[in-house]
Chain A
Amino acid sequence: MSAERHLRAVPDARSGDAVAGAEPGPAPDLTDLLERTARGDGGAYEQLYGLVAGSVFGLALRIVRDRDMAEDIAQEALVEVWHRAARFDAGLGSARSWILTIAHRRAVDRVRSEQAHTTRMHTHGVREEAAPAEQDSVVDTLYQEWEASRVRAGMQALTERQREALELCYFKGFTHREAAQALDVPLGTAKARIRDGLIKLRDAMGAER
C-alpha cells in the first residue's frame, strides 16, 4: 500500500533511469538502495550517495551560499541519511524527497542559527558568495539540466507572488511568519501562497502522476 503511494508521488524511478544513462548497469532504485542502507549495506549507501550527493550539496549551497558550509551541511545530511535510513517512511514521500528534506532542514537550521548570531558573523567578516561549482566529480549534467528546465517551466506556472513566497521559505529559510512579514501580507495569505505555489508546481511537473 505504501509502495503504491510511493510510485505515484515519487520521481525516483525517473531519476534512477537518468543516472543510469551515465553509468552502465541496471538503474538503481533509490528506495531499494535506501532500504538496503537501512540494513547496514555500505555498497548500497555508496550507490545512493552517487544518486543524491549532487542535489544535496547543490541545495545546501543554494541556501547557505558558501561552499565550505554547504559541504559541511551536505556531509551532515548524508551521514544522517545513513543514521536514520531505517526511519524512512514511504507514506510521507519518496526516498529522494526524504533525503532532500533532511538536507533542506539542516541547511535552513544553519541559516537560521547564523542569523540568530549576526553579531558574531560580523566579527568573522562577510562570507564569500558561492563560487561556481567546479565539475570535479561525475554528475549527470544532462539530467540536471532537464530537471532544472522542467522546474523552471513549473515555476513559470506560478504567479510572481507564489514564486516569491516559495523562494523566501524554501531557499532563504524564512518561516511562514517571517515571509508574511517580509512580504507585508497576513500570515494566512503567505500560507495560501506557499500552498498554491506547491500545488501548481507539483501539477506543472506531473509529480502527482
Chain B
Amino acid sequence: MTDSIHSLVPAYAVDALEPDERAMVERHLRECTDCREDLAAFRAATAALADAEAAAPPLSLRSRVMAEVARTSQLTPDAAEAPSTDPIRVAATFDSPGGAGHEEGSSAAAAAHARDDDLAGRRDRRGVRRWMPALAGAAATVAVAAVGLGMAGAFSADDAATEVALEKDVMMVTSAPDATSMDVDLGNGHLVKSDRMDAFVLMGAAAPMPDKGTEYQLWLIMEDGSKVAGPTFMPEDDGEYMTVMHGDMDGVVAVAVTCEPPGGSDEPTTEAVSEVIL
C-alpha cells in the first residue's frame, strides 16, 4: 500500500494524477518524510523545467495581478490559526476558542512558524481534537475561505471587493469540470461540489433570515460523525446567499447549515436548518 503510494509521488510532482490519487498522495505526504523529501527534489527538477520556459509576460499582467491582489483575502497558516486583524483576511472559525475569526495577540510571524509544529498536537492543546478523532489530517487541510456576503457585519468598506473575490471563487468552483450540484433546502438553494477545486459552494435565493441574533454557519459532516466548522454567512435582503468552503473533500458525507452566534461556533449549537447528504 505504502509502496504503491510512494510510487505515485513522481507523477504527483508533474500533476499527472487523477483527483483521487492526488488526494491520496497529499494525505500520505503529511506523514511520510521520505516522500516529502522526494517530492522536494522532484519539484526542484520540475521548477527548472518551468524556469527554462520563462517568457516576458504582457505588461498588463502586472497591473491585473496587483489589482486583484488588492481585493483578495489571505489564508492563515492553517485553519487552526487566525492571526489577522485585517477585516478582509477572514479566516477559519472552527478552531478559535471564542469562535470568532479574529484572534488577537497571535502574531503572523509566530503563526507562520507554528505551521511547522505538530498540527495534531497543537490542535489537541486547543481542545479541538475532541470532535475530530482521527481527523487531524483532514482538519489540517480544511482551509475555510470564509468570505461570506455581509459576513458578521464587521466590515462595510471592503464589502464590494470581498464580494468580487467571493464571486470569482464561486465561479471557479461552479465552473470546474467535475462540479456537481445538489438541491439544498435553504430558500431556493443548491450545493456545488468540486473535488478538483477542493471546495463546496453553497448558494441560493429566497432564504429566510436566520434566527434573530444569529448567522448561518456551514458544516461538513464527516463519515465518523464529527463536524468541521465552515464559514458563517448571511442572506442579502432579497434572500440571496453564497458561501465557499475549501478543503479536502475526502470523508465528507453530508453538509449542514445551522444558526450560530455571530462569528460562528466550534461545534453546532443548534439543530440543522438544512442538511444535504452527499
Contact = CB atoms under 8 A, between A and B. Distances in A.
A86 B7 contact: no
B3 interface: no
Interface string A97-125: 11011011100110011001100000000
B73 A83 contact: yes
A208 B69 contact: no
A202 B42 contact: yes
B46 interface: yes
B44 A35 contact: no
B48 A11 contact: yes
Nearest to A195: B10
Given A78-B65, A113-B177, A101 B115 contact: no
Nearest to A206: B44
B55 A151 contact: no
Interface in B42-60: 42-60
Contacts of B47: 11, 93-94, 96-97, 100-101
B249 interface: no
Contacts of A205: 44-45, 48
B246 to A, nearest CB: 10
B89 A74 contact: no
Q: A-side binding surface: helix, strand, loop or mixed? A: helix
Contact of A55 (B7, B51, B66): B51
Contact of B10 (A35, A82, A133, A194): A194
B45 A87 contact: no
A103 B39 CA distance: 17
A86 B115 contact: yes
A54 B54 contact: yes
Interface residues of B, number: 63
B77 A86 contact: yes
| Interface-centre pick from B60, B65, B78 (highest chain A CB count, 10 A) | B65
Contact of B86 (A40, A61, A71, A135): A40
Nearest to A45: B69
B14 A94 contact: no
Given A79-B69, A177-B18, A58 B54 contact: yes
A62 B53 contact: yes
Given A86-B77, A93-B39, A109-B196, A194 B16 contact: yes
B183 interface: no
Given A53-B57, A89-B115, A147-B54, A208 B11 contact: no
Nearest to B143: A87
Contacts of A83: 72-75
Contacts of B1: none
A100 B46 contact: yes
B112 A38 contact: yes
A150 B44 CA distance: 13
A74 B47 CA distance: 15
A175 B16 contact: yes
A35 B39 contact: no
A134 B61 CA distance: 13
A27 interface: no
Interface string B191-207: 00000100000000000
B41 A9 contact: yes
Contacts of B224: none
21 contacts: A11-B47, A38-B77, A75-B64, A78-B69, A82-B74, A86-B115, A89-B115, A91-B40, A91-B116, A93-B47, A105-B15, A117-B177, A133-B56, A136-B56, A144-B51, A152-B52, A177-B18, A194-B11, A198-B14, A198-B45, A205-B45
Closest 7 CB pairs of A and B: A93-B43, A58-B55, A57-B57, A97-B43, A207-B44, A195-B10, A97-B47
Given A9-B41, A91-B36, 6 more contacts: A11-B44, A82-B74, A101-B47, A147-B48, A151-B48, A170-B46
Interface of B: 7-8, 10-11, 13-18, 29, 36-37, 39-62, 64-66, 68-70, 72-78, 84, 86, 89, 108-109, 111-112, 115-116, 143, 176-177, 196
